[in-house]
């Protein structure tokens, strides 16, 4: 049985004081959740949120990391910096980073390796555009993104990876993939992993759905066989909404 994982991606929202308020409101609401609950604040709020979630069942995630250990990379943040703060999960390859900040399959792969070598968990985002879905190449495209992200990573490590399937056309649009569409694509991703690593690995790996997931649709999405969790944007910015998704 795969343990469900619901993560909030706060994107570029919340100052440190706003982040503190959100997580203070959230702690009592999700304290009884028997799943992995993760919040991913912006870098500038990580320290504040790290202090507040100590001793609770909420885990800390970051929204990106650089793949080099240290050095002359102005504006970037390293794995050691995140580790020292108590970060356990790191989102990489989000479609917004691929679209606006030059994230490529190659950098995603380098980042995944660094994260795993350091004992942390990458949440690797994959997902097709509307054009790709309409042309019928969704499964091929997300399978390729997944294989390239995992290239050169050993099966034992792949078991620890979390993949977030986020159709680009469903992000922040209020349009959700139907539970069947989401389940079918996630099944295709799992099969792609099975092709390379075998069934033991593919069955262990957790795959989330992301894209306008909210308190109204979480129950149905989470009931699907292949869906192991959610990566939540907009609905993670309000404690009550996020807690309802967590308690789906
Ligand atoms: P929304 O939930 O706002 O659609 O965002 C999804 C997402 O991109 C999470 O990473």
User: With helix as H, strand as E and coil as C, how does 87-128 read?
Assistant: CCEEEECCHHHHHHCCCCHHHHHHHHHHHHHCCCEEEEEECC
Q: Rounded distance, CA 32 to CA 19, Å?
A: 21
Gap from CA of 2 to ligand 1 centroid (Å)? 22
Structure tokens at 128: 């097709």
Are the C-beta atoms of 208 and 218 separated by less than 8 Å? no
CA angle 68, 231, 70 (to 5 degrees): 10
- pLDDT value for 174: 83
Residue 162 parent element (H or E):
strand 162-165
Q: Tell me, rounded to whole angstroms, the distance of Cα 76 from its chain centroid.
A: 20
Q: Rounded distance, CA 86 to CA 60, Å?
A: 7
Gap from CA of 71 to ligand 1 centroid (Å)? 32
Are the C-beta atoms of 227 and 186 separated by less than 8 Å? yes
User: How far is CA 175 from each of CA 126, 169, 185, 240, rounded to the nearest angstrom?
Assistant: 17, 7, 16, 21
Atom of ligand 1 lying closest to residue 95 CA: 8
Q: 45-92: per-residue pLDDT in tens?
A: 999 999 999 999 999 999 999 999 999 999 999 999 999 999 999 999
Are the C-beta atoms of 30 and 39 separated by less than 8 Å? no
The residues lining ligand 1, judged by C-beta closer than 6 Å to any ligand atom, are: 9, 94, 166, 171-172, 210-213, 231-235
Ligand 1 test: best mutation among 5, 9, 91, most atoms within 8 Å of CB?
9
**Pairing verdict, β 206-210 and 121-126:** unpaired
23-32, 155-164, 170-179, 227-236: range with lowest mean pLDDT: 170-179
Q: Rounded distance, CA 230 to CA 166, Å?
A: 9
Are the C-beta atoms of 59 and 35 separated by less than 8 Å? no
Beta bridge partners of 89: 61, 121
Topology of the domain comprising 5-236:
TIM Barrel (3.20.20)
Rounded to an integer, the average pLDDT of 107-134 is 97
Rounded to an integer, the average pLDDT of 175-193 is 95
Ligand 1 test: best mutation among 10, 11, 168, 229, most atoms within 8 Å of CB?
11
Percent of the chain with pLDDT over 90: 97
- Average model confidence (pLDDT) across the chain: 97
Predicted model pTM? 0.98
DSSP-assigned letters across all residues of 53-88? HTTSSEEEEES---SSSSSS-TT---HHHHHHTT--
The separation between the first and the last C-alpha atoms of the chain, rounded to the nearest angstrom, is 18
């Amino acid at each position: 049985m795969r343990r469900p994982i619901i993560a909030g991606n706060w994107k570029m929202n919340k100052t440190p004081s706003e982040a503190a308020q959100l997580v203070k409101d959230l702690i009592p609401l999700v304290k009884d959740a028997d799943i992995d609950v993760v919040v991913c604040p912006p870098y500038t709020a990580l320290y504040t949120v790290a202090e507040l979630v100590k001793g609770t069942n909420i885990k800390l995630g970051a929204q990106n990391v650089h793949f080099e250990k240290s050095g002359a990379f102005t504006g970037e943040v390293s794995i050691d910096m995140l580790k020292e703060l108590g970060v356990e999960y790191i989102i990489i390859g989000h479609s917004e980073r691929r679209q606006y900040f030059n994230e490529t399959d190659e950098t995603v792969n380098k980042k995944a390796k660094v994260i795993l070598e350091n004992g942390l968990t990458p949440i690797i985002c994959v997902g097709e555009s509307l054009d790709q879905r309409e042309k019928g190449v969704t499964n091929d495209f997300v399978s390729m993104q997944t294989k390239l992200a995992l290239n050169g990573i050993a099966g034992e490590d792949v078991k620890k990876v979390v993949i977030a399937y986020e159709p680009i056309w469903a992000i922040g649009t209020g349009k959700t993939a139907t539970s069947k569409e989401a389940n079918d694509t996630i099944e295709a991703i799992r099969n792609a992993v099975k092709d390379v690593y075998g069934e033991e690995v593919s069955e262990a790996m957790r795959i989330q759905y992301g894209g306008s997931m909210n308190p109204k649709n979480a129950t149905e999405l989470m009931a699907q066989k292949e869906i192991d969790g959610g990566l939540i944007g907009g609905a993670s910015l309000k404690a009550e909404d996020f807690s309802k998704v967590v308690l789906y």
